[in-house]
Amino acid sequence: MRADRLVAALLFLQTRGRVTAAEVAAELEVSERTARRDLEALATAGIPVYAQAGRGGGWTLVGGARTDLSGLTENEIRALFLLAGPSATSPELRVVLRKLVRALPAPLRKGAEAASRAGVDDGTDWSGTEAGEPRLPALQRAVVEGHRLRIGYARPGEEPRERTVHPLGVAAKAGVRYLVADTDAGLRTFRVSRIVSVVETGEPAVRPADFDLATTWRTLAARMEDRMVAATVRGRAAPGTEAVLDRLLGGRLRYTGRGEDGWSDIEVDGPTPEVVAAQLAGLGARVELIEPPEARAHLGRLGAELARMYADSAPSASLDAVRSGPA
């Protein structure tokens, strides 16, 4: 969670006095770019953090190193709790905030507590598709304590399979957490919400020499992103479908032109033509796929299957639309 990192970055600054973005990145196990953004966020929020360029430069907390928060001003404390408070949905972060409040002088506690209650961060996906992560604490504990695990992992549409892994870290991308682990087949990522069981083997985990979570995650994430956009499907979309397509496809969708009939030319990236076709199937005749042939064939198969399954309940006009496609 970003609020955890911001608090940790501030306390690291208080302890060291002057730090570089690289040092913060190493301490928090994030990329240097992320560390720099966090430091800039603290400065923007009103915390007296400033950067000094050149040899011997770095990021400094005005007033020098401190061992607690009692040296911060009222406005600075309010800014910090406004940043951290909305994300305090985990028990661990709430404990951190309570400890920080107790470290403040009594006259400043009321303002800090009010600031922590001034916002809310609701991580719930409106689509309701993201499952919970009940195994996350056990995974995090295994990473910290260095324990080898047997996990039950269920891919979509498949029965869970048991795997023995060496847990190395937990990374988050767009609100979704992944376990980074070493396996007999090499480094792998496992979506935490799909881990259905966690059993400690009683054996120590083996950590590769010079392992760095941030660097490893960037490499693994780049591979996953390449697989997610390995195929491109071209087609046409009817007027009025833009909002639905944007929400459904996000950055994988490109508009390349518009015809005289008002239909938009589109390109959609995905792992395979069949996956893209399935994602667009719900729009029916409002989207026409043009190429590659695999996408058209798969959409045709889906349409035929649906027509057969619901032939008794669908109006004849709807079946005619399925057969004829867009005009």
pLDDT band at 273 (very low <50, low <70, confident <90, very high): very high
The residue count of the chain comes to 327
pLDDT value for 14: 73
What is the structure's pLDDT at 93?
64
Residues 6+ apart with CB under 8 A from 301: none
Q: What are phi and psi of 264, to 5 degrees?
A: -95, 140
Per-residue exposure over 80-97, b if at least 16 CB sit within 10 Å of its own CB, e if not: bbbbbbbbbeeeebeebb
Band of pLDDT at residue 7, cut at 50, 70 and 90 = confident
Q: Which of 51-60, 149-158, 223-232 has the highest mean pLDDT?
A: 149-158
With H, G, I as helix, E, B as strand and everything else as coil, classify residue 187.
Answer: strand
Q: Using pLDDT thresholds of 50, 70 and 90, give the confidence band for residue 232.
A: very high
Q: Is pTM, for the whole model, over 0.75?
A: no
Q: Among 2, 82, 10, 4, which residue's Cα sits nearest to residue 39?
A: 10
Mean pLDDT of the chain: 80
Band of the pLDDT at 323, cuts 50, 70, 90? very low
d(CA 177, CA 175): 7
Distance CA 170, CA 10 (A): 22
Q: Is the pLDDT of residue 1 over 50?
A: no
List the chain domain ranges: 2-116, 136-224, 231-324
Contact residues for 57 (Cβ-Cβ < 8 A; gap 6+): 20, 51
- Tell me the pLDDT band of 66, cut-offs 50, 70 and 90: very low
Helices (H), 130-204: 136-145
Listed range (32-46, 142-156, 189-203, 280-294) with the worst mean pLDDT: 32-46
In the structure encoding, which two tokens stand for residue 140, read together?
A: 């995090």
136-224 — its CATH code?
2.30.30
pLDDT score recorded for residue 123: 55
C-alpha closest to that of 287 among 243, 232, 238, 251:
238
Question: pLDDT-based confidence at 85, cuts 50/70/90?
Answer: low
Whether the CB-CB separation of 190 and 209 falls below 8 Å is answered with no
Give the pair of three-digit tokens for residue 320.
């005619």
Are the CB atoms for 116 and 97 separated by under 8 Å?
yes
Q: Are 307 and 316 spatial neighbours (Cβ–Cβ below 8 Å)?
A: no
Average pLDDT over residues 34-51: 82
Question: In terms of DSSP bridges, do strands 147-153 and 161-173 run parallel, antiparallel, or are they unpaired?
Answer: antiparallel
Spatial contact of 280 and 268, defined as CB atoms under 8 Å apart? yes
Identify the weakest region by mean pLDDT among 62-71, 74-83, 218-227. Answer: 62-71
Q: At what angle do helices 273-280 and 293-309 cross, to 10 degrees?
A: 40
What amino acid is encoded at 317 in this protein?
A
Asked whether residue 62 carries a pLDDT value surpassing 90, the answer given is no
Cα 29-203-134 angle, rounded to 5 deg: 60
Query: What percent of the chain has a predicted confidence (pLDDT) above 70?
Result: 73
- Residue 263 pLDDT grade (very low, low, confident, very high; cuts 50, 70, 90): very high
Q: Is the pLDDT reported for residue 183 higher than 90?
A: yes
Judge whether residue 311 has pLDDT over 70.
yes
The 3-state DSSP class for residue 303 equals: helix
Looking at residues 232-253, what average pLDDT do you find? 92
SS3 238: coil
pLDDT at 101 over 80: no
Q: For the domain covering 231-324, report its CATH number.
A: 3.30.70
How high is the pLDDT of residue 129?
47
**What sign has the CA pseudo-torsion 19, 24, 26, 27?**
positive
Contact 179, 139 (CB under 8 A): yes
For the structural domain made of 2-116, what CATH number should be given? 1.10.10
Give strand ranges (E) for 174-319: 176-183, 186-191, 195-204, 231-237, 253-258, 264-270, 287-291
Q: How confident is the model at residue 245 (pLDDT cuts 50, 70, 90)?
A: very high
